[in-house]
Structure 1
Amino acid sequence: MSGFLVVQAVIILSLVILDLGVAQPSNKTININNTNTPLKFYCGINDAIISPTAFSRNRNSTFSQLRNKFSTTGVFYATARSLENDNDVVYGVAQCRNYLLLTECLACFDVAVSVVDQSCGSANGAHVFLDNCFLRFENYNAYYDDPQGTLDFAVPEICGNDSTSQQTTAFNQAVKELLSDIRFATPKTSDFYIASTRQVANGANATVYAIAQCVENASQAICKNCLSTAYNNLYSCLPAKEGRAINVACFMRYSEFPFFRNNQTINLIPFLKGSSSKSSIIIGVSSGAGFVLLILSLFLWFRRWRKSKAVGKVCFTVCLPYDALETSGEFQGTRCYTYQDLRLATNNFSEECLIGKGGFGEVFKASVDSGIVMAIKKLHVGVGAKKGFENEINIINNVRHRNLIKQLGWCIEGHDLLLVLEYIPQGSLDKFLWGSNYAMSPTTFFGNLNSTFSQLRSHLSNPGVYYARAHGSENEDAVYGVAQCRNYLSSTECLACFDVAVSILQPCGLANGAHVFLDNCFLRFEDYDQFYDDPDGGSNVEVLELCGNESTSQPITAFNQAVQELLSDIGVATPRTSDFYIASTRQVASGANATIYAIAQCVENVSQTICKNCMTRAYNNLYKCLPSHEGRAINVACFMRYSEFPFFQNNQTVNFTPFLPSKGSSGKFGTTIGVSSSVGLVLLIVALFLWFRRWSKSKAVEKEFKGVRCYSYEDLKLATNNFSEEYLIGKGGFGEVFKAVVDNGIVVAVKKLRVGFRAKKEFENEVNLNSNVRHRNLILQLGWCSDGAELLLVLEYMPQGSLDKFLWGEKKGTLNWKQRSDIILGIARGLVHLHEEFHFKIIHRDIKSSNILLDDDFQPKIADFGLARFHPEDQTHVSTGFAGTMGYTAPEYATRGRLSEKVDTYSFGIVALEVISGRSCSDVNYSGAQMEYLLDHAWQLYEKGMHIKMIDEAIDPNEYQEENVKKIIEIALMCTQLVSLRPTMSEIYLMLSSEPQLKQRQISRPTYNVDRRIHIVGS
Structure 2
Amino acid sequence: MFQAKVVALILIWWSSNIVEDAVAGPDINLINSGCSNYNASSLRNFFADLNATFSYMRGEVKNNNKHFGTTDQARGDALTYAMFQCRNYQSKNDCLVCLNTAITQIQNCSKANGARVIYDGCFLRYESERFYNQTNELGSGVLCGNTISSVTGFGEAGQQALMDLQIATPKTKDFYAATKTQVVGGSAIYAIAQCVETATETNCLNCMQVGYNNLQSCLPYTEGRSYDAGCYMRYSTTPFFADNQTIDITPYFKHGDSSKKWAIIGGGVGAVVLILALFAWRLSRKSKGVPRADILGATELKGPVNYKYKDLKAATKNFSAENKLGEGGFGDVYKGTLRNGKVVAVKKLMLGKSSKMEDDFEGEVKLISNVHHRNLVRLLGCCSKGQERILVYEYMANSSLDKFLFGNRKGSLNWKQRYHIILGTARGLAYLHEEFHVSIIHRDIKTANILLDDDLQPKIADFGLARLLPGDRSHLSTKFAGTLGYTAPEYAMHGQLSEKADTYSYGIVVLEIISGERSTNVKDDEDGEYLLQRSWKLHERGLHMELVDKAIDPNEYEAEEVKKIIEIALSCTQPSASTRPTMSEVVALLKSKSLVEHLRPTMPVFVETNVMPREGNSTKLRGDVKNESTHFGIAQQARGEVLTYAMFQCRNYLSIKDCLACFDVASIQIRNCSTGNGARVIYDGCFLRYESERFYDQTAEPGNGVSCGNISANATGFKAVGQQALMDLQIATPKIKGFYAATKTQVVAGSAIYAIAQCVETASEPNCLNCLQLGYNNLQSCLPNTEGRAYDAGCFMRYSTKPFFADNQTIDIAPYLKHGDSSKKWPIIGGVIGAVLLLLALFAWRWSRKPKRVSRGDILGATELKGPVNYKYKDLKAATKNFNAENKLGEGGFGDVYKGTLKNGKVVAIKKLVLGKSSKMEDDFEGEVKLISNVHHRNLVRLLGCCSKGQERILVYEYMANSSLDKFLFGTARGLAYLHEEFHVSIIHRDIKTANILLDDDLQPKIADFGLARLLPEDRSHLSTRFAGTLGYTAPEYAIHGQLSEKADAYSYGIVVLEIISGQKSTDVKGDEDAREFLLQRTWKLYERGMHLELVDKAIDPNDYDAEEVKKIIEIALLCTQASAATRPTMSEVVVLLKSKSLVEHLRPTMPVFVETNMKTREGNSGSTTVSSSNATASISVLSAR
TM-score normalised by length of structure 1: 0.47
Looking at both structures, which has the greater relative contact order when contacts are Cα pairs under 8 Å and sequence separation is at least 6?
Answer: 1
Q: Could you state the TM-score of these two structures normalised by the residue count of structure 2?
A: 0.41
